[in-house]
Structure 1
Amino acid sequence: MRFIRLLFVALLAIVLIAVALANRQVVTLSAFPANFGQFLGGTWSVNLPLFFVIFLAFAVGMLAGLVWEYLREAHIRREARQRSAEVARLENEVGGLRHRHAAPRDEVLAILDRPKTSTTPPRSGASAQPAPGTSLPASSR
């Protein structure tokens, strides 16, 4: 990808240099048409090389397009900011609900919900088979 970018920049530089060399003539760039600048006072024209006028026009066009797109997409950025703020608010609310509902409200419930751990060794007389007369199913071994 870096090579392709470097190749593109090199080709662009070659094209720009070729345009500059082919358009070295001096032209007059006027701000107002046909002597209208005299009514405002001063000279409203400048002599520049043609390639500079071309590059300047290209730069002004790019800048105008950038400003146009920035203003056109303002509502999209505003909506994205609003939705981002709403997502953050909802994530905070969900986090609070998880924290509030994850902890037991009563000490008795906390004791009942605690995982059972066996600290006493199993009795030696205990068998894996259910006692006679119980409704537990027999293990299938």
Structure 2
Amino acid sequence: MKTIRYAFWGIILVLLVLVGLANSSYVTLRAMPVALGDLFGISPDIDLPLYVVLFIGVGAGLLIGFLWEWLRESRMRAERRVKAREVERLKREVDQLKGAAAGAKDDDDVLALLEKTG
């Protein structure tokens, strides 16, 4: 199974390198359109290779998706915590009731032996 996993990640690595080599030309990223930048007198822009822009876009998309999913599931996690606390409380209550029932059955030796083996 490890071999398949390493082969998968190796193929992904080769594909990423190929995408990087095929898109190595530089592009200019602008924070605002040229006309608006000229109007305000500022034009923040940066020159980056195209593959860097692609990888940053994919990474930002994944990060936003993971954050969105984590926020969506917060209600389910809170509900699971409440249920786990309730289960623990009920287990403690059952243990207490078993202890009380065992104390009441100590009068009969045969029943006490049957409870210990069962």
Q: TM-score range by the shorter chain?
A: 0.7 to 0.9
**Cross-structure match for 2:86:** 86
Match among 114, 129, 139 for residue 109 of structure 2: 114
The residue identity in structure 1 corresponding to 2:49 is P
- Asked which structure has the greater CA Rg, the reply is 1
Measure, in 2, the Cα distance between the counterparts of 1:41 and 1:98.
Answer: 80
Residue equivalent to 2:101: 101
Q: How far apart are the structure 2 equivalents of 1:102 and 1:41?
A: 85
Query: Structure 1 CA distance, aligned partners of 2:96 and 2:41?
Result: 70
Aligned length: 110
Tell me the equivalent position of 1:57: 57
Q: Secondary structure at the match of 1:36?
A: helix
- Percentage of identical aligned residues: 37
Task: Give the superposition deviation at 1:38.
Answer: 5.6
Paired residue secondary structure (1:97): helix
> Distance in 2 between the 1:17 and 1:90 partners?
56
Runs of 4+ in 1 over 6 A off after TM superposition: none
> What does residue range 69-80 of structure 1 map to in structure 2 within 5 Å?
69-80=69-80
Determine the structure 2 residue equivalent to 1:118: none
Judging by fraction of residues, say which structure has more helix. 2
SS at match of 1:51: helix
Cα distance in 2 for residues equivalent to 1:72 and 1:11: 33
Please list every run of 5 or more consecutive structure 2 residues that lacks an aligned counterpart in the other structure: 111-118
Q: TM-score, normalised by structure 1?
A: 0.71
Aligned letter for 1:20?
Answer: G
Q: Tell me if structure 1 keeps the 8 A contact 2:31–2:43.
A: no
Judged with a 3 Å threshold, the aligned counterparts in structure 2 of structure 1 residues 40 and 101 are, in CA distance, closer, same or farther, namely farther
Alignment TM-score, normalising by the size of structure 2:
0.84
Per-residue CA shift, 1:75-113, capped at 9, x if unaligned?
Answer: 1111111101110111111111111111127xxx72xx1
Mapped to 2, the partners of 1:98 and 1:41 lie a distance apart of 80
Higher RCO structure, 1 or 2 (CA under 8 Å, sep 6+): 2
Moved more, 50-59 or 30-39: 30-39
Distance 1:64 1:41, change over 3 A: farther
* TM-align CA RMSD: 1.9
